[in-house]
Amino acid sequence: MSMRLLYWYTRFLDQKGNLQKYHGLGDFELNFSTDTKYHFDAEKYELSEHSYQTPLPERFWGDPPLYNVNAVIGKNGEGKTTVIHTVMNTLQGLFDRKLTTSNETVFIVESKKEKILFHLMGSNKKSAEKTIKCSFKSKNICSDNIKEYDEFLQIIDKTRLIYLTNTLSKADDERFDSVEKHSHVRANFIYDCSLNGAIRYNMRDSIESDNFRKHREQLKEYEQKLSPTEVLDLLDQEPDLLKTYFVNEYYKHVKFVFNSTQYSIISKLKNKGLPVPVPKQLSITVRNPQNHLKHFSFTQGVKALEKISDKIVYRLCEACIYSFISSTVGSFSAIEWFSPPSASCESWQNILDAVFRYNGNSIEQYNWWNQRREECKKFIEFVYHSEFRNILDEFVQPEIDLDALDNDLTFTFIMPVNLQNNWGMIDFFDKYIYSCGRDYFLDFSWGLSSGENNLLGLFSSIFYIFNTNGEHLHTWRNRTNKNIETIPCDSIILFMDEADLTYHPEWQRQLIKILTAFLPLEFNKKNGFKDIQAVLTTHSPLLLSDMPSNNVTYLSMSPTKGENSAENNTFGQNIHTILKNGFFLDGTVGAFATDKINETATKLRNETITPEELEECKTIIDLVAPGILKNKLMELYIAAVPEDKKLMESMKSDAEKLNYDDLNSLIEILQTEQKKRREKS
């Protein structure tokens, strides 16, 4: 029973039911249908509808289940983000069956080809006495009777919202907190792939952070046995959230790129001529976790090894050991008397045990360090696995000679993206994430530009909604009882706030084409999806030129602006017209250049202009790009130039056209005239 969102209207009310402005907006409406425009009159309580003169043809945006793509535009501060958040938060409240908003909302959904109008009265008690006049089924819902309409709200239950933005905002953080209050009871309705969401999820879900909270609880039991310095050292183990964010982003990238289905998708898009990043190799740098380790290392052991795979595995284990020590014990004195280990899995694991025992009661009390030790053992065991070492032998070439590194652990090796090594890299990253703690000892790079990395991040964030079993949006781990529960989901609404942010203009021009090609492949009918909608906010005229006018909502504080009109036709429109009409700019030339040009024109119109000012104006004119503006300025300049100077300018222009012999003749004529005038004087 899929849900398709066709229309949305909200007016902002306070708790007493009075109209109020929220972030500058009093109300707003959005149309999402491909063939019908709706309008709710809040004074008359009437919902009107009429067919678009030019409805979008079927498959206009591409293959099913993609239904429609819409854009919300407006100047900064005119409510684009507020609109997106209002829609998401209201639907979240209905999904949670805890509608708390005071706003009055009217929206239309289509399910099984039947249209249903939902009227959420909020704090407007008078609306309970009114019935909206419309041509289809209507449901009045308030916080008191929300459960009475559970049968209809189940339509929403099978829908999921995906939220993407590269900006950080307080509103995103507040929305995250409000959603998390209920996420331990029910599955997530909003998949928050925003920058804020990624950072907060990392903070909540990282293995170290989870154990650190338990670790702090254990401190209460042992605080009498510890010195103040030891307590501070323990509290210092909290993970670096910024590092955790970047490591987890690369974790998503690796899961995406080394997934054969996903790699096939982006390769297919690339073959269609779309500028999507298709990484060919992953550069992995094993770095020294502690700069002061120059005085001690296990490096002697690596020089005795012949195979590349053995050398790399040795270095990985060495870095893992140092990471364990620096993020738990903190002191390296525990290993200074150890001999370099032999190149075996058991020898490295024995060192972990020895370090753990050597520090005795000061750390064995705490399960957190013991768990870290076990995770490090699993990492070491994995890199010694024969299949992973075979991958290293077959595909990897280090960038420098490992034997030449002496005591420096930092080196880089290249892992080509090859379907044969998929298992190895994904499992390798899994083990690394859990073993490294707060001291991440590997750096990763695809060799992509920042824009390419952002686009890869967009794909991988959407893909990462897959769970570890490869099922898409259909399962959820209950954080209370840890059970895996099945969730029916057949509809996706993708919200992208500031969709054009961070992208080169050429990629902005291509973004809609990329999204409409990618989404049907990612959320296809084989996985049970029946409807996909995308809603974007943007400042980019290049994105807007891909949007039919009926698919664009204009937000503006001015009541006269923002209305669709013939001159606001956007689809296929040139960038200058869109900037003037679609984004309501006062001009399409930079404000600084505009001021300089206007100042120059004013000076040239002044009859008392000085020679110095005239020369300055000429310099400005020379800087202006060729075109109408420059021609107009030149006309003003010529009119302002004195007659004798005009003659000189004319002669100079004529002289440039003369050939060499004629130029010599002219020079003789001028010299003769100059001699005559000297004799007269």
Same structural domain, 176 and 205? no
Pairing of strands 104-111, 114-120: antiparallel
Same structural domain, 217 and 171? no
Same structural domain, 9 and 151? yes
Same structural domain, 286 and 407? yes
Same structural domain, 152 and 208? no
In a domain, 454, yes or no: no
pLDDT of residue 375: 87
pLDDT-based confidence at residue 225 (cuts at 50, 70, 90): low
Q: Which amino acid is at 171?
A: A
Query: What is the token pair recorded at 239?
Result: 């993970």
pLDDT of residue 50: 94
pLDDT-based confidence at residue 1 (cuts at 50, 70, 90): low
pLDDT-based confidence at residue 562 (cuts at 50, 70, 90): very low
Choosing from 428, 445, 462, the residue where a domain stops is 445
Q: Check whether 257 has a pLDDT greater than 60.
A: yes
Q: Check whether 583 has a pLDDT greater than 50.
A: yes
pLDDT-based confidence at residue 561 (cuts at 50, 70, 90): very low
In a domain, 258, yes or no: no
Same structural domain, 664 and 615? yes
Domain count, the chain: 4
Query: What is the token pair recorded at 462?
Result: 């959407």
Residue indicated by tokens 């535009």: 73
pLDDT of residue 565: 40
Q: Quote the crossing angle between the two packed helices 170-180 and 80-96, to the nearest 10°.
A: 0
Q: How far apart are CA 501 and CA 168, in angstroms?
A: 12
In a domain, 221, yes or no: yes
Same structural domain, 145 and 62? yes
pLDDT of residue 49: 94
Q: What is the pLDDT of residues 20-58, one digit of tens each?
A: 988 888 999 999 999 999 999 998 999 999 999 999 999
Q: What is the pLDDT of residues 146-201, one digit of tens each?
A: 877 887 888 888 899 999 988 888 878 877 777 666 554 456 788 888 888 877 77
Choosing from 239, 270, 300, the residue where a domain stops is 239
Phi/psi of residue 116, each to 5°? -130, 130
Q: How far apart are CA 562 and CA 24, in angstroms?
A: 15
**Which domain, by its residues, includes 673?**
596-680
Q: Check whether 449 has a pLDDT greater than 60.
A: yes
Phi/psi of residue 233, each to 5°? -60, -40
Q: What share of the chain in percent tops pLDDT 70?
A: 74
pLDDT-based confidence at residue 331 (cuts at 50, 70, 90): low
In a domain, 146, yes or no: yes
Looking at mean pLDDT, say which of 430-439, 482-491, 507-516, 657-666 comes out highest: 507-516
pLDDT of residue 430: 82
Per the prediction, the chain carries an average pLDDT of 78
Q: What is the pLDDT of residues 475-499, one digit of tens each?
A: 555 555 566 666 678 899 999 998 8
Point out the least confidently predicted range of 129-133, 216-220, 458-462, 574-578.
Answer: 216-220
Q: Which residue has the higher pLDDT, 174 or 533?
A: 533
Q: Check whether 441 has a pLDDT greater than 70.
A: yes
In a domain, 255, yes or no: no
Same structural domain, 319 and 365? yes
Q: What is the pLDDT of residues 90-116, one digit of tens each?
A: 999 898 888 888 999 999 999 988 999
Mean pLDDT (whole number) for 199-225: 55
pLDDT of residue 356: 76
CA distances to 326, 450, 512, 520 from 548, in Å:
58, 30, 12, 20
Picking from 201, 245, 165, 160, the residue whose alpha carbon sits closest to that of residue 493 is 160
Looking at mean pLDDT, say which of 71-75, 125-129, 360-364 comes out highest: 71-75
pLDDT of residue 295: 45
pLDDT of residue 342: 76
Same structural domain, 577 and 500? yes
Same structural domain, 368 and 516? no
Q: Which helix (H) or strand (E) holds 105?
A: strand 104-111
pLDDT of residue 267: 93
In a domain, 267, yes or no: no
Q: Which amino acid is at 19?
A: L
Same structural domain, 562 and 604? no
Residue indicated by tokens 């893909």: 463
Q: How far apart are CA 248 and CA 127, in angstroms?
A: 48
CA distances to 263, 515, 532 from 518, in Å:
12, 5, 12
Q: Quote the crossing angle between the two packed helices 367-383 and 386-395, to the nearest 10°.
A: 50
pLDDT-based confidence at residue 332 (cuts at 50, 70, 90): low
pLDDT of residue 12: 95
Mean pLDDT (whole number) for 422-428: 76
Choosing from 559, 582, 605, the residue where a domain stops is 582
In a domain, 468, yes or no: no
Same structural domain, 488 and 560? yes
In a domain, 171, yes or no: yes
